Amino acid sequence: MHGKSEDREDYQHVPRPVAAMARDLPDGHHIPPHHHRRAQLIYGTSGAVTVVTDRGIWVVPATRAVWVPAGVTHAMTCTGAVRMRTLYVEPSAAPSLLTGPLVVSVSPLLRELIEEATRLPIAYEVDGRAGRLMDLLLLELEPDPVAALHLPAPTDPVLVRLCAAIREDPGARWTAESAANRAHLSVRSLHRRFSDETGMSLAHWVRQARLVRALTLLAHGTAVTSIAAELGYATPSAFSAMFRRAVGQAPSAFYRGTVEPGGSTRQ
């Protein structure tokens, strides 16, 4: 037991640059749309967390976290039991992360710093060990260039409905023709509007949707063979190859945090 408040409002106005909260949440726990005065780092040391904003969807395992800027409305859902560790940060304390929601790498050092931060009093001593620990924690917060965990959201209602259908069944055979028919658009119009709205081609977005589904299934402990079949891949090796290209690790290694030859782990 951490003995600290689990009410996020208690962390918004403390006279410190960082306030850290620990909550253990069950599989399927959903926190409806809300926003904070402070920026938030959403991190789970187990399971996976899906964060939804009007700018897109992020799914992060224990090797990464999602940074949500101050005032941005977001919702989140847990896949598997999630030991959530949240940082509430004064925006001025992390100027490199002001651009928008993004993924932050969680190195072994940052993971330990976050865990220790949740054990500190909310009004920790700024000039003592706790203050130095929080300063180091802020220095370790860096954007992760891996975009594979992000699914950008369109605003065009026609494309919103199409993307919802793809997310519902990402393993279906989503050709340009079938998607255009679904959206009642020509193939040319679909390609142009989809790229303008999401910054991705339709084919890329479908791959991302499959990857997002794969991450949540992996967090539930689903076998790679079953995931490959659900997502429409002819063989498990074809799925594993896609996964490795996207995130740099095989799916079997991703949640273990193991190091593959020529690769690295962030867990």
- Regarding whether 98 and 67 lie in a shared domain, the answer is yes
Classify 171 as helix, strand or coil. coil
- Regarding whether 185 and 115 lie in a shared domain, the answer is no
Last residue of a domain, one of 98, 115, 140: 140
- Regarding whether 162 and 132 lie in a shared domain, the answer is no
In a domain, 233, yes or no: yes
- Regarding whether 130 and 77 lie in a shared domain, the answer is yes
- Regarding whether 205 and 130 lie in a shared domain, the answer is no
**C-beta atoms surrounding 126 within 10 Å:** 13
Tens of pLDDT along the chain (267 residues)?
456 888 889 999 999 999 999 999 999 999 999 999 999 999 998 888 999 998 889 888 887 899 999 999 999 999 889 999 999 999 889 887 777 788 888 889 999 999 999 999 999 999 999 999 999 999 998 776 655 678 899 999 999 999 999 999 999 999 999 999 999 999 999 999 999 999 999 999 999 999 889 988 888 888 999 999 999 999 999 999 988 887 777 887 766 543 333 333 333
Classify 19 as helix, strand or coil. strand
What is the reported pTM? 0.80
pLDDT at 50: 92
- Regarding whether 129 and 31 lie in a shared domain, the answer is yes
- Regarding whether 48 and 79 lie in a shared domain, the answer is yes
pLDDT at 148: 61
In a domain, 109, yes or no: yes
What angle is formed at CA 109 by the lines to CA 81 and CA 64, rounded to 5 degrees? Answer: 45
Whether the Cβ atoms of residue 193 and residue 219 lie closer than 8 Å to each other: no
- Regarding whether 195 and 166 lie in a shared domain, the answer is yes
Give the residue ranges of DSSP H helices in the chain.
Answer: 108-119, 129-140, 157-168, 176-183, 187-198, 202-219, 224-230, 236-247, 251-254
- Regarding whether 247 and 183 lie in a shared domain, the answer is yes
Burial 105-118 (b: 16+ CB within 10 A, else e): bbeeebbebbeebb
In a domain, 50, yes or no: yes
Residue with tokens 């002819």: 234
- Regarding whether 222 and 136 lie in a shared domain, the answer is no
Whether the Cβ atoms of residue 178 and residue 162 lie closer than 8 Å to each other: no
The whole domain housing 205 covers 153-254
In a domain, 260, yes or no: no
First to last CA, the chain: 23
CATH number at residue 186: 1.10.10.60
- Regarding whether 245 and 186 lie in a shared domain, the answer is yes
Beta bridge partners of 18: 89
Cα–Cα distance, 250 to 34 (Å, whole number): 35
In a domain, 92, yes or no: yes
In a domain, 131, yes or no: yes
**Structural domains counted in the chain:** 2
- Regarding whether 47 and 119 lie in a shared domain, the answer is yes
